[in-house]
Amino acid sequence: MADVAVATVLGPHGAKVVPAVEVDSYNLELKDDEGFLGDRASRQAFHDILETWRKPARKHGADPFGDTDSHDLSRSKLAEILKDGEPEAAAIINSAISAYAEELAIVVRRFLKAKAWADTERIAVGGGFREGRIGELAIASANLILKAEDIAVGMVPIHNDPDEAALIGSLFLAPSWIFKGHDSILAVDIGGTNIRAGVVLPNVGKAADLTKAAVWKSEKWRHADEEKVNREDAVDELIGMLKGLMKKAEKEGYKLAPFIGIACPGKIEEDGAIAKGAQNLPGNWESSRFNLPARIAEAFPQIDGHDTVVLMHNDAVVQGLSEVPYMPDVERWGVLTIGTGLGNARFTNREARDKESGKERKSGKDEESGKDRDKESKGKDKEKDKSKE
């Protein structure tokens, strides 16, 4: 019965329409001659480019980064070197940022040419790579490249901390009525490297548009570092994290809503199955016999005495939803999440779409009214002609 209620009241998993926006497209897999286009702008792609720019230094002298592997150089360390490090090391980082920005601009151009991304006005860029100065400079450089080519789309870093954006985005999966009498929710963000769970506060008393929403507490499990971890281990770990967070929230006096939002990589089917795109997760998450929302609902059948509603959507979609309060001035916008891979989603604000539909309906009615008036006028003219005869 709980599954039926979820489907009837809140809509399916991976929904095309959520309260604030229509999800026009997500998990779009564009390809070029070298494979998946998104791989050109992944986090690994940046570190590969950095390695390319270190080779000349090694060949003609000493590498200012020493023997450290390029993929082991954290973005915070690179930002520190960029600001106060040796000029040659800073020059290598700058060159890598510029080269990566060119690749990111190529990827954005291709997305904008896709039918599902037509008329996109703004793109928010999130994911782990966005965090810190290196990511911000790469995004700004790519945006400048597009501006130089008169491509009218703005690229902006996602507003919330990338580690928290998908948790906050879960608030936008559920209708506002579910929060009545409650001040927090449980949210999950599953990625190719980490699984996060958190208690999210809508803080509607501070801002009804959820711009003041915040993560109260969260836990992270880095499954990529684990050996021989499988899907069941991961699900058990996630359930344990959620139970621990629930106890902490209740102890602190928070009233959790009977809702759990899940952000997960891949193409999410209406029944909660993952059709494709979960290859970076531990074990087989695409099995027809596996359903994560059902497993979570089984572990948490009720919260605060009410049947628990579990909703899951693609991780890029949910991270993008955290930007809803910052996109009221545009109609069509997208999100790119740069991490283990390149996530993507495109949205249309429902308020703007409803206004547009209203205008079309009004235009149609006016047109019909005009036709009726013309018919009426012609009828009167005929009557006049007959009277003259």
Q: Where are the domains of the chain?
A: 2-28+161-322, 35-152
| CA–CA dist 305, 328 (Å, integer) | 36
Give the end-to-end CA distance of the chain in Å, rounded to a whole number.
76
Mean pLDDT of all residues in 92-112: 96
Residue 3 has pLDDT above 80, yes or no: no
Sequence-ordered list of residues with C-beta below 8 angstroms from that of 70, at least 6 positions apart, any chain: 47, 48, 50, 51, 54
Tens of pLDDT, residues 14-35: 999 999 999 999 999 998 877 8
Amino acid at 263: A
pLDDT in the model for residue 356? 60
Confidence grade of residue 357 (pLDDT, cut at 50, 70, 90)? low
Token digits of residue 9: 């009241």
Q: Is the dihedral of CA 320, 323, 324, 327 positive or negative?
A: negative
Write down the pTM of the prediction. 0.86
Amino acid at 298: E
pLDDT in the model for residue 9? 37
| CA–CA dist 367, 313 (Å, integer) | 41
pLDDT in the model for residue 389? 46
Amino acid at 387: S
Pick from 287, 343, 342: which is nearest to 315 by CA? 343
Tens of pLDDT, residues 167-206: 999 999 987 778 889 999 999 999 988 999 999 999 999 9
Give me the CATH topology for the region 2-28+161-322: Nucleotidyltransferase; domain 5 (3.30.420)
pLDDT in the model for residue 4? 39
Confidence grade of residue 225 (pLDDT, cut at 50, 70, 90)? confident
Whether residue 231 contacts residue 285, with contact meaning beta carbons closer than 8 Å, is answered with: yes
| CA–CA dist 27, 45 (Å, integer) | 19
Residue 104 has pLDDT above 90, yes or no: yes
Token digits of residue 248: 């902490």
pLDDT in the model for residue 375? 57
User: Which three-class secondary structure state does DSSP give residue 73?
Assistant: coil
pLDDT in the model for residue 6? 41
pLDDT in the model for residue 170? 97
pLDDT in the model for residue 178? 81
pLDDT in the model for residue 366? 56
| CA–CA dist 96, 99 (Å, integer) | 5
pLDDT in the model for residue 245? 98
Whether residue 77 contacts residue 65, with contact meaning beta carbons closer than 8 Å, is answered with: no
Parallel/antiparallel/unpaired status of strands 184-190 and 154-157: unpaired
Tens of pLDDT, residues 332-354: 999 999 988 899 999 999 986 66
Distances (CA, A) of 72 to 18, 39, 50, 309: 39, 19, 11, 40
330 backbone dihedrals φ, ψ, rounded to 5°? -125, 160
Q: What is the mean pLDDT of the chain?
A: 89
pLDDT in the model for residue 340? 80
Tens of pLDDT, residues 106-156: 999 999 999 999 999 999 999 988 888 999 999 999 999 999 999 989 999
- Bridge partners, residue 186, by sequence: 199, 260
Residue 64 has pLDDT above 80, yes or no: yes
Token digits of residue 264: 């997960």
Mean pLDDT of all residues in 262-291: 94
Q: Which residue has the tokens 């190529």?
A: 106
Tens of pLDDT, residues 238-259: 999 999 999 999 999 999 999 9
Residue 373 has pLDDT above 60, yes or no: no
